[in-house]
Amino acid sequence: MAIRAIEVKGLRKTYRKVEAVRGIDLHVEVGEVFALLGPNGAGKTTTVEILEGYRKRDAGEVQVLGTDPETNERSFKERIGIVLQETSVDPFFTVREVIELYGGFYPNPLPVDEAIEIVGLTDKADERIRRLSGGQQRRLDVALGLAGNPELLFLDEPTTGFDPSARRNAWQMVKDLQSLGKTILLTTHYMDEAQMLAGRVAVIARGEIVAEGPPDALGGRDVAGTKISFVLPPGSPSPPPQVAGNFQILGNSWRSETDAALPILHELTGWAVNNNVELRSLQVSQPTLEDVYLALTGGERDGASESQTVADLAGGKSETGRSR
């Protein structure tokens, strides 16, 4: 039986009186890239730090690579790589030296040049760390996480603070790592990053997993109702009742969320063409990952009503004509 890279059941952690993690279940398969999404303070860091062996849990079962990280065994640390935020190394070392230093802690380290090449720092290999840019230092962080040739890599917000091209490069790097057979647990608060890299995503909010699945289907996004909206110019005739009944009307703006978008659109556009009515700003859309994420985590983007709508959507309800 294949063993999972990470298996968590009923994980709980309380700081003084604050319940940071309130019963989390999750699993990560070997070779998978799994993303943990969530706002700051949602319990993401606590969860990951428990998996890495930095913190002790209050309750629940945790197995990482078949061992309990809490025991902090050396043999466990030899099989994982950790890329944290806000860690540094002595700035007077060169890139090559510090990778050599860290690689030396492991029984089968990655060849130093290989680690440097994976993160694209080959031409900076003999540069002192203090002369690297922020993005280069972040790539060095990843190289240090890889130094011991780990089976499982924890990547904590690997691209925070990157410019767009640096992010593209970092994403390519993560994909390359996956093709090397590494299992990767990624935390991020960038939706596009999770969508681009992860096979599965879990959204964590208020200490709980509120949704989990492939990014394309997260929160029922793939089967959620389609949004149709348009603006009816003043003075236009009203659509017939079999169309209008599906819509909510706010001034001139008409909106609908429906499971049967095609017949409604057919009726609507047919009527509009026949009556020579212009449907301004006609839009047909599925909720984006960001919509789902904001709804699940209680964030607000276009105001509370929008979030509420998507929250209902994510919960699987998709009847039309709800009040807003």
> Contact residues for another protein (CB under 8 A)?
52-54, 74-75, 77-78, 80, 82, 84, 86-90, 92-93, 97, 101-102, 104-106, 128, 144, 148
Beta bridge partners of 285: 227
How far, in Å, CA of 137 to CA of 143, rounded? 10
Nearer to another protein, 105 or 322 (CB): 105
User: Minimum distance between the CB of residue 77 and another protein, rounded to whole angstroms?
Assistant: 4
- How many angstroms separate the CA atoms of 224 and 208, rounded? 22
Separation between Cα atoms, residue 257 and residue 90, nearest integer Å = 56
Cβ-contact 131, 161 below 8 angstroms: no
* 31 backbone φψ class: left, alpha, beta (φ>0; ψ -120 to 50): left
CB nearer to another protein: pick between 85 and 172: 85
Residue 155 or residue 218: which is nearer to another protein going by CB? 155
Closer to another protein by CB, 129 or 204: give it.
Answer: 129
Instruction: Report the distance separating Cα 34 and Cα 311, nearest Å.
Output: 23
Closer residue to another protein in complex, CB, 91/214? 91
Least distance from another protein to the Cβ atom of residue 88, Å: 5
Q: Determine the Cα–Cα distance for residues 31 and 152; give it in Å rounded to an integer.
A: 9
**Cβ at position 140, least distance to another protein in Å:** 11
Taking the complex as a whole, how short is the minimal distance between the CB of residue 82 and another protein, in angstroms?
4
